[in-house]
């Protein structure tokens, strides 16, 4: 995108590929769990206990961040498929949004992690 | 130079005598609606919209958790009201319907994703005729991915809906008791 | 007993037509009649001015690619019996400019084929072309690229590819497949040169894995697979370049 001689796609494609695998294998379980969050024995307190576990929480944000890059990479290419000419501006907005969502997850993780310890 | 010019001319023919008028068919933005194969592809790409929406739903949940982390730690339900509200919002019938749609989209993604994977992998280790490399190629790879999907989904459902089952299975063996305890807080919920 | 088939052919005569138009024909066919034979029958007995390319009649020259009911196919490998009870609509190969009737201008594809150097480039430390040299290759080494060397350059994958439709700068399925085919050849030393084309936005990275090229390929080459494998190679190349100085 920014270089003439070599595309930077390998970065985004790598994240997209890893994300695609996560969406296919892990996300269905998370969606099913979310649907039962209010009804299952897995109540709010237990939810909190899981989310407070640094390991579980890290795995959770890892999954979510990969899903984000996967989804936004596909949106980027689908714009092109709809014959919308994607330029530098589209690139910055779409991957910028992916970065923003990723940072939000990381920020929340750090808050949870530090509050957990202090 | 003159020689080069004179030899290149017959290649393009004499333009004055040529009736060449190549017709270029226009590219329509709705090309993907014209063929079932293309439509299936666009649907596959379209699943990402619902994935993104679900990620935002989870981000909301995660932000709520982070904001009320102290209250949650002390099981202060009153203080954690907005988190409880958010979880109740996730249980709203409209949200359940939405999540079912997300699930359908994600399953469609999964079952278009797995069959394409073998095309992107080629494991050739010395001799093609022997070795476990076969498990990473062709239909074996697809089977392996489907197996991973089934395992994670079933394990996830048991973990979230029937944690008692895990405890029943693992406690007599004395396995993972500590990690289960630390995960679920002071006491196991079962 | 011969059955009858209605075949509608898209015509375009540059010296008199503003754009393409349809002309329908009735042809008799038997179990063995291929579309190419049917078109020749039309040309011989009904419409002598109908233009289309063909040569070998046996799916090896790659000349007779055309759209059959919207699907790119070789006319010689398409049989009327498979369309019994339906009508057939024949158009020139999609995504290429129409020269006349079913003849398209493939020069963009041919230029790309030339650009990727689809021949063995000797390794630097080995004897150069013209020198006496025996190239030894084991069956296992052959297997690495054999499938991808079956391409007959018919252009059907370009007609199947929406990414080429949208962006004609895209190197396209066949060219990228041939790059992979030569890069994986144990006798070849031109990988570094060809990777420069692969690594660009118009190289493998224009592909979004629609997969229709592999669906349509009359020789079972599976270009989509070659491109995905090319992406893996390009990603490796990208990582290496990050740690190399002066790149």
Residue C222 has φ and ψ, to the nearest 5°, of 60, 65
Instruction: Provide the pLDDT confidence category of residue C81 given band limits of 50, 70 and 90.
Output: very high
Q: Could you give all domains of chain A from N- to C-terminal order, each with its CATH number?
A: 9-117 (1.20.1300.10)
Mind telling me how many Å the CA of A98 is from chain B's nearest CA? 10
Pair (C152, C68) in one structural domain: no
Tell me, yes or no, if B39 comes closer than 8 A to chain C by beta carbon: no
A109: burial class by Cβ within 10 Å (0-12, 13-18, 19+)?
buried
Task: Choose the final residue of a domain: C104, C119, C144.
Answer: C104
A1 reaches C (C-beta below 8 A) = yes
**Dist. CA C159–CA B39, nearest whole Å:** 17
What pLDDT digit, counting tens, does each position of C139-175 carry? 888 988 999 999 999 999 999 999 999 999 999 999 9
Residues of B in contact with A28 (CB under 8 A): 103, 106-107, 110, 149, 152-153, 156
SS3 content of chain A, % helix, strand, coil (to 5): 80, 0, 20
Q: Do C97 and C112 have their domain in common?
A: no
Q: C58 Cβ partners below 8 Å, 6+ apart?
A: C76
Q: d(Cα B27, Cα B16) in Å, to the nearest integer?
A: 30
Q: Read off the pLDDT of each residue in A86-107 and give the average, rounded to a whole number.
A: 95
Residues C72, C192 within the same domain:
no
> Does C129 lie in the same domain as C28?
no
Name the residue with tokens 């944000």.
A61
* CATH code of C12's domain: 3.10.20.30
pLDDT for C151 = 97
pLDDT at position C167: 95
* Pairwise CB contact (< 8 Å): C224 & B119: yes
- Residue A85, pLDDT > 70, answer yes
Residue of C nearest to B38 (CA): C210
For residue range A42-58, list pLDDT tens digits in order: 556 666 667 777 888 89
Task: Read off the pLDDT of each residue in C63-84 and give the average, rounded to a whole number.
Answer: 97
Give the pLDDT confidence of B147-167 residue by residue, as tens digits. 999 999 998 888 777 777 766
Cα separation, B55 vs B66, in Å, equals 16
Task: Say what percent of chain A tops pLDDT 90.
Answer: 64
Which residues in chain A belong to E strands, given as ranges?
A: none
- The per-residue pLDDT for range C28-42, each reduced to its tens digit, is 999 999 999 999 999
Low-confidence ranges of chain B (pLDDT < 70): 1-16, 72-80, 123-136, 166-168, 170-190
Which CATH number is C153's domain given?
Answer: 1.10.1060.10
Average pLDDT on A18-33 reads 95
Task: Specify the pLDDT at position B65.
Answer: 83
Mean pLDDT of chain C: 94
Residues C8 and C47 in one domain: yes
Q: How many domains does chain C have?
A: 2
- Please provide residue C132's backbone torsions phi and psi, each rounded to the nearest 5 degrees: -65, 130
Would an 8 Å CB–CB cutoff place C2 in contact with chain A? no
Structural domain harbouring C147? 107-243
Q: Residue A56: its chain B contacts at CB < 8 A?
A: 183
B54: nearest Cα among A43, A82, A70: A70
B126 sits in the region (left: phi over 0; alpha: psi -120 to 50; else beta) called left
Q: Where are the domains of chain B?
A: 33-119, 121-190
For residues C232 and C212, membership in a common domain is answered with: yes
Query: What is the 3 state secondary structure string of B121-174?
Result: CCCCCCCCCCCHHHHHCHHHHHHHHHHHHHHHHHHHHHHHHCHHHHHHHHCCCC
Final residue belonging to a domain, choices C104, C132, C159: C104
Neighbour count for residue B149 (Cβ, 10 Å)? 21
Interface residues of C toward B, Cβ cutoff 8 Å, are 12, 14-15, 19-20, 70, 94-95, 97-99, 105, 140, 143-144, 162, 165-166, 208-212, 214-215, 222, 224-225, 228-229, 231-232
Domain B33-119 carries which CATH code? 1.20.1300.10
Final residue in a domain of this structure, among C47, C75, C104: C104
């Amino acid at each position: 995108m920014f270089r003439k001689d070599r595309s930077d796609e390998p970065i985004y494609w790598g994240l997209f590929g890893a994300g695609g695998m996560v969406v296919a294998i892990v996300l269905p379980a998370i969606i099913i769990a979310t649907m039962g969050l209010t009804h299952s024995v897995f109540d709010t307190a237990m939810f909190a206990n899981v989310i407070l576990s640094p390991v579980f929480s890290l795995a959770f944000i890892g999954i979510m961040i990969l899903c984000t890059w996967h989804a936004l990479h596909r949106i980027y290419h689908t714009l092109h498929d709809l014959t919308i000419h994607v330029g530098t501006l589209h690139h910055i907005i779409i991957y910028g949004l992916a970065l923003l969502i990723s940072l939000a997850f990381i920020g929340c993780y750090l808050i949870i992690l530090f509050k957990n310890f202090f | 130079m003159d020689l080069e010019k004179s030899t290149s001319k017959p290649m393009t023919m004499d333009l004055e005598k040529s009736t060449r008028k190549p017709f270029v068919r226009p590219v329509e933005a709705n090309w993907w609606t014209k063929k079932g194969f293309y439509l299936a592809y666009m649907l596959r790409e379209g699943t990402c919209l619902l994935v993104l929406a679900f990620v935002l739903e989870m981000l909301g949940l995660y932000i709520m958790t982070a904001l009320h982390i102290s209250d949650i730690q002390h099981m202060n339900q009153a203080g954690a009201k907005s988190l409880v509200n958010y979880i109740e919002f996730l249980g709203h019938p409209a949200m359940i319907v939405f999540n079912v749609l997300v699930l359908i989209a994600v399953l469609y993604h999964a079952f278009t994703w797995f069959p394409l994977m073998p095309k992107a992998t080629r494991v050739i280790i010395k001799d093609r005729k022997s070795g476990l490399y076969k498990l990473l190629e062709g239909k074996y790879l697809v089977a392996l991915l489907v197996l991973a999907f089934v395992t994670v989904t079933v394990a996830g459902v048991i973990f979230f809906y029937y944690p008692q089952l895990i405890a029943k299975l693992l406690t007599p063996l004395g396995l993972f008791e500590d990690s289960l305890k630390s995960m679920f807080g002071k006491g196991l919920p079962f | 007993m011969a059955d009858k088939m209605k075949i509608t052919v898209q015509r375009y005569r540059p010296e008199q037509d503003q754009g393409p138009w349809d002309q329908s024909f009735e042809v008799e066919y038997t179990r063995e009649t291929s579309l190419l034979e049917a078109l020749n029958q039309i040309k011989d007995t009904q419409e002598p001015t109908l233009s289309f390319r063909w040569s070998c009649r046996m799916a090896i020259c790659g000349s007779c690619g055309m759209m059959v009911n919207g699907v790119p196919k070789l006319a010689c490998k398409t049989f009327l019996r498979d369309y019994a009870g339906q009508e057939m609509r024949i158009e020139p190969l999609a995504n290429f400019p129409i020269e006349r009737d079913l003849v398209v201008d493939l020069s963009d594809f041919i230029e790309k084929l030339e650009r990727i150097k689809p021949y063995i480039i000797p390794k630097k430390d080995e004897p150069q072309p013209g020198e006496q040299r025996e190239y030894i290759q084991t069956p296992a080494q052959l297997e690495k690229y054999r499938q991808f060397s079956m391409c007959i350059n018919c252009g059907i994958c370009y007609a199947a590819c929406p990414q080429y439709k949208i962006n004609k700068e895209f190197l396209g399925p066949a060219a990228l497949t041939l790059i992979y085919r030569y890069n994986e050849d144990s006798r070849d030393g031109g990988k570094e040169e060809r990777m420069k084309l692969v690594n660009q936005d118009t190289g493998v990275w224009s592909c979004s894995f629609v997969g229709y090229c592999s669906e349509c390929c009359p020789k079972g080459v599976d270009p989509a697979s070659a491109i995905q494998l090319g992406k893996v190679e390009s990603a490796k190349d990208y990582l290496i370049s990050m740690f190399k100085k002066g790149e």
